[in-house]
Amino acid sequence: MNDPQPPYLRIVADIERRIADGELRPGDPVPTTRAIVREWGVAMATATKALAALKQAGAIESAARVGAVVAPRRLPSRSAGVSNATASSARPWRSPTPTAWPRCPCGRWRPSSGSPP
């Protein structure tokens, strides 16, 4: 194989093609690192790097007890003045992190309103 593209990018492109073709749908599990190693004949580190790139791109996400699954497709924003790049890179809403709360003397996080337990 005289392909100048790194192996992990070929794996990423193949999995993205499978998603685009509908072979892998949102919520479907993606191949595990071991399955990638067997299917493509690459090292474990290469398989891990490919899955990390897919996760960073937002194509897959981690799911409890399943591993990595195809991420749900995000609908384009209908807001005026918002580009598709901004809409597609928008992160889903997440609850506030405990870092927004002050620490009590015992070291646990607690909301700023109300009295200590």
- Tell me what pLDDT residue 1 has: 54
What's the pTM? Answer: 0.61
Please list the rounded mean pLDDT of every run of 10 residues in the chain (117 residues): 84 94 93 95 96 94 88 65 47 47 55 51
- Tell me what pLDDT residue 105 has: 59
Longest dimension (CA), the chain: 67
Phi, psi of 25 (to 5 degrees): -105, 160
* Residue pair 19/70 in contact by the 8 Å Cβ criterion: yes
Over the stretch 2-16, which tens digit does the pLDDT of each residue have?
A: 678 999 999 999 999
**Where in the chain are the domains?**
7-70
| Class of CATH domain 7-70 | mainly alpha
DSSP, residue by residue, 25-57: -TTPBPPPHHHHHHHH---HHHHHHHHHHHHHH
- Tell me what pLDDT residue 94 has: 47
